[in-house]
Amino acid sequence: MKTKLLAPWCVNDQCYRVNVSSIEIELQRPWRVYLNYPYLAGVDTELSRIPRHCWGLTEPGNELFRVPRVVHFVDASGCIPVSQEEKTPPAFYRIRTIEDRDHTTYWYGPSGEPFILREPYDPDRAEIEEEIKARKLSAVVLPDPGLYAGGDGQTCSVLMGLPEDCATLHDIVATLNLTGWPAMPEVKTMDWIDAARLSKTKARGGCHA
């Protein structure tokens, strides 16, 4: 199903004018499923659901750039992000992880397997792969640039699970290597009033999100 996603951004830090960037993307699941990945904060189908402190400051709304990758990862791998909690959910306690703790999120695999995703800044992919090998972790590095891709793309995504789920981890990487990451859809820009009107129209029309 096609869904329009909105991301407000300020013309400057003083917010003299707020514009909204929009992309249209095909979703296989309800939008709220993808939104459980916390680094999509600042993107939604309705402006009223986007907290002001999540608004981007620079065109065209940096938050939008992660959407195609997150959506593709969920749809291609069958993994589902778990709503973020302050502490590690009990189902994930037994997973041995890499030392770097940046951008930790929790996922269920295609058959309900517990997975932990970490996305370190400024990674040295070779060092991460060496750590995985040396510590005999059940972990894989996803194809670049991964999901978060912050710091001008200088992050990578490391997916970790239990030893009995190692084959599933490698199947996920094989699928992503085969499909590749999707291109960014066309980004359209509109003023706040037009975006609010679009948001209300979608709500009245029974938005799929």
pTM: 0.90
pLDDT for 13: 63
Identify residue 44 by its one-letter amino acid code: D
pLDDT for 200: 73
The radius of gyration of the chain from alpha carbons, rounded to an integer in Å, stands at 18
Whether 185 is in a domain gets the answer: yes
pLDDT in tens, 15-24: 678 899 999 9
pLDDT for 98: 96
What mean pLDDT comes out for the span 82-110? 90
Whether 116 is in a domain gets the answer: yes
- In the predicted structure, residue 201 carries a pLDDT above the cut 90: no
pLDDT for 209: 31
pLDDT for 208: 32
At 136, the pLDDT band (50, 70, 90 cuts) reads very high
pLDDT in tens, 114-131: 999 999 987 788 999 999
**Helices 67-77, 166-179: inter-axial angle, 10-degree rounding:** 130
- In the predicted structure, residue 204 carries a pLDDT above the cut 60: no
Whether 111 is in a domain gets the answer: yes
At 71, the pLDDT band (50, 70, 90 cuts) reads very high
Lowest average pLDDT, out of 21-35, 127-141, 147-161, goes to 147-161
Whether 41 is in a domain gets the answer: yes
Residues 9 and 19 sit within 8 Å (Cβ to Cβ): yes
- In the predicted structure, residue 206 carries a pLDDT above the cut 50: no
What mean pLDDT comes out for the span 30-57? 90
Whether 209 is in a domain gets the answer: no
Domain count of the chain?
1
Considering only residues 3 and 154, tell me which one the structure prediction assigns the higher pLDDT.
3
Instruction: Identify the domain containing residue 77 by its residue range.
Output: 2-204
Report the candidate in 182, 83, 100 with the shortest Cα–Cα distance to residue 141: 100
Residues 64 and 21 sit within 8 Å (Cβ to Cβ): yes
Reported as type and span, the H/E element at residue 178 is: helix 166-179
Whether 27 is in a domain gets the answer: yes
Reported as type and span, the H/E element at residue 190 is: strand 188-191
Sequence-separated (6 or more) residues with CB below 8 Å from residue 99: 131
Query: Coil, strand, or helix at residue 183?
Result: coil
What mean pLDDT comes out for the span 158-185? 97
